[in-house]
Amino acid sequence: MNEYSVHKIIETIKPYITEIKGEINIKTTVRYIKPFEQVDEYSLDWINSNKKEKQLMAHNSKAKVIICDNEVEYNDTLKNDGKVLLCVENPKLAVALLGTHLFSEKYPEFFHPSAVIDNAAEIGKNVFIGANCTIGKCIIGNNVTIHPNVVIYNNVTIGDNVLIHAGAVLGTDGLGCERLVDGTLVKFPHLGGVKIGNNVEIGANSYIAKGALSVTSVGDGTKINGLCFIAHNVIIGKNVLITGQVMIAGSVEIGDNVLLSPGVVIREQVKIGKAAHIGLGAVVTKNVPDNEVWTGIPAKKFEK
């Protein structure tokens, strides 16, 4: 169990703090972020800015350290309870930062004995490989966590601080076919690989194919949720947020900071510009310029 002083909490989110309300008791410590109903005196609590009863929530919280916005007033009730308010513009972001840096589960350096790891795999430091994984001839960086039942084929390179959830499959064959005159499908060879950057997350039961003759790549900081399909030769930029059950067909290129909403389908070879947002369930059939919001089927620029 970790235990942090209020000073450590403040230090972690310092650039985002606009005001500290109340006095810091050096005896106050924080051990965890808990579900609302389980918050106790050792919890860090937080109040989302969109809540109506923010003042009341601050009064009722059992926590001593509360992240909230400036609208919550410091008064005798809070003072008598020895509470301190760390005010920020976006409390959810502050909690996300604290969760990531102080409270996320750390997995030890460990290869489960049931994992099948190719002798030629190059694996960095502080790597956790869960039960029943299969790891091919790969290069895996440092501080990587691989949950159970993940399968990584040969020729996959994974950066540092990557998190891969259960059942994901990386580096499988893509499926591009040519047809003979009699209809027979002839599969184009898939001889490329997969390159995953640093600080990437890949969700449970997701699928990433190797490139046909090149590399399917996922940029630094990109987060991919579960049941997503990333086809061969796809090139994904940095800090792209790919939500659940997204389908990205072959050779698609996705710029930095893009958001793909749940259930999006993208046609092969389409380019999605930087910081574009694609709406829920959209089917994207042509290139999307930078910074635009596209929705619908087929997807078009969304005008308010």
Residues noted as catalytic:
232
Quote the tokens at residue 41: 């005196």
Task: Decide whether 22 or 219 has the Cβ nearer to a second copy.
Answer: 219
Task: Pick the closer one to a second copy by CB: 120 or 213.
Answer: 213
Omega of the bond leading into 298 within 30 degrees of 0 (cis) = yes
Please identify, using beta-carbon distances, which residue of 28 and 216 lies nearer to a second copy.
216
Q: How far is the CB of 31 from a second copy (least distance, A)?
A: 12
CB of 81 to a second copy, least distance (A): 22
Are 100 and 33 in contact by the 8 Å Cβ rule? The answer is no
HEC letters along 27-51: CCEECEECCHHHCCCCEEEECCCCC
CB of 68 to a second copy, least distance (A): 15
Cα dist from 2 to 32, 43, 63, 93, whole Å: 8, 12, 16, 21
Q: Where are the alpha helices (DSSP H) in the chain?
A: 6-12, 54-60, 76-80, 91-98
Please, which residues have CB within 8 angstroms of residue 129's CB and are 6 or more apart in sequence?
110, 111, 112, 115, 117, 123, 135, 146
In the complex with a second copy, the residue whose CB is nearer, 16 or 74, is 16
Query: What single letter denotes the amino acid at residue 124?
Result: G
Q: How far apart are CA 250 and CA 209, in angstroms?
A: 9
Determine how many CB atoms are found less than 10 A away from the CB of residue 255. 21
22 or 94: CB nearest a second copy = 94
Shortest spacing between CB 112 and a second copy, in angstroms: 7
Continuous segment of H or E residues that includes residue 301: strand 300-301
Task: Provide the greatest CA pair distance for the chain.
Answer: 84
Nearer Cβ to a second copy (27/304): 304
CB of 64 to a second copy, least distance (A): 18
Question: Distance (Å, rounded) from C-alpha 230 to C-alpha 260?
Answer: 13
CB of 75 to a second copy, least distance (A): 26
